Amino acid sequence: MSAEIETSLRGPRAYDLARRAVAAMEKHKVWPTALNFELWSHYVAAQDSPLAAEINQMIEAGEAFTDTVGESLAERFLPKAKLSGEILEAGDALTKELDTVSRAIQSARSSSEVYGQQLASASESLAGEDTGKIKTMVETLTQATQKVRQENATLESQLADTTAEVSRLREHLEQTRRDAMTDGLTGLANRKAFDEALERACAGAEQAGGVLTLAVLDIDHFKVFNDTWGHQTGDQVLRYVASVIGRAGASPRTAARYGGEEFALVFPGEGARAALAVLEEIRAEVSSRVLKRRSTNEDLGAVTISAGLAERRPGETPASLIERADAALYASKRGGRNRTSAADPIAAAA
């Protein structure tokens, strides 16, 4: 179905779909950003698609179509990272093939040079002998060898140009891959990158018998803040909180925007006690700053975050670890917010 939609968006129906998409966005008060236009173009092109069902459900519930919502829908229904990864793998394979061909040409060139030298030597040794036909044949072969050498040199030059172009393409594909794994609003890893990082960390911990802790963090009362001050100011708050979390999530940790106003931190090789100390530093820093609205310089007050953490148990799957960390987060919310909770007693986990 996705391929059919893409074909429609590039065929005779494209203009009609574009007009319908703009009309639908205007009707439901959705900003006509590039991402929203793509989402709503898919929405009007396939009313029976999962994306359309999701949007229809939001419309019926009267939910606002914010930038955060749009990004979440795009990650779920417009997956492009897989394509970028496949292209990158194809680029790597092409480069390997070019390297193989280059080595083969170098070998052939070296062999032809040796062969040419041998023929030239044989031709000289036959000088003065009554072997005119043989000498003519050797000279002919020598000329042919020289021609092959010239052709090899030309081919090698062309290959060098092609290899340089492939290298530039690989750099572009690598940047595309990084973009596909990065949350556009906050600059942190996106949900796909988080899933992959957690999968790797769990596999590494299981193989090495090491520890691993996962934390999930959520901005308290963010919806109320968004409704009061507007989505642009809400995005400003998301970026601020993400910057604090990002500084704490330097490699080998992974800091990600898990979805909406929720974030995640993966702590490979660190137990619950160490993760708790980091989360408390993040929570204290976020709540210590009085934010100002950029457009008017109005005081917005301070925002707080709640967090939950879980230390991985032997044999535990990523899904189970996420579930326990989420449960700890909701325990923080039920306990009054602006606090950190652990899935297990820290003393026992440590």
DSSP secondary structure of 103-156: HHHHHHHHHHHHHHHHHHHHHHHTTTSS-HHHHHHHHHHHHHHHHHHHHHHHHH
Inter-residue contact 343 to 328 (CB < 8 Å): yes
Structural contact between residues 215 and 339, judged by C-beta atoms closer than 8 angstroms: no
- Give the count of alpha carbons within 13 A of 81, CB side only: 18
Most confident among 8-17, 58-67, 198-207 (mean pLDDT): 198-207
The two structure tokens encoding residue 1: 């179905």
Q: Is the pLDDT of residue 191 over 50?
A: yes
Q: Which CATH architecture has domain 191-349?
A: 2-Layer Sandwich (3.30)
Q: What is the pLDDT of residue 93?
A: 63
- Above 90 in pLDDT, residue 110? no
CB–CB of 249/255 below 8 Å? yes
Q: Quick check: 246 and 187 in contact, CB under 8 A?
A: yes
Higher pLDDT, 179 or 24: 24
For the chain, first and last CA: distance in Å? 50
Q: CA-based diameter of the chain, in Å?
A: 109
Q: Work out the percent of the chain whose per-residue pLDDT is above 90.
A: 36
Q: Write the pLDDT tens digit of every residue in 271-304.
A: 999 999 999 999 999 999 888 887 777 888 899 9
Position 334 confidence tier, pLDDT thresholds 50, 70, 90: very high
What is the DSSP track for 144-163? HHHHHHHHHHHHHHHHHHHH
Structure token pair of residue 61: 């519930």
Sketch the domain layout of the chain as residue ranges. Answer: 2-78, 82-180, 191-349
pTM across the whole model: 0.57
Catalytic residue numbers, as ranges: 261
The span from the CA of 224 to the CA of 124, in Å, is: 95
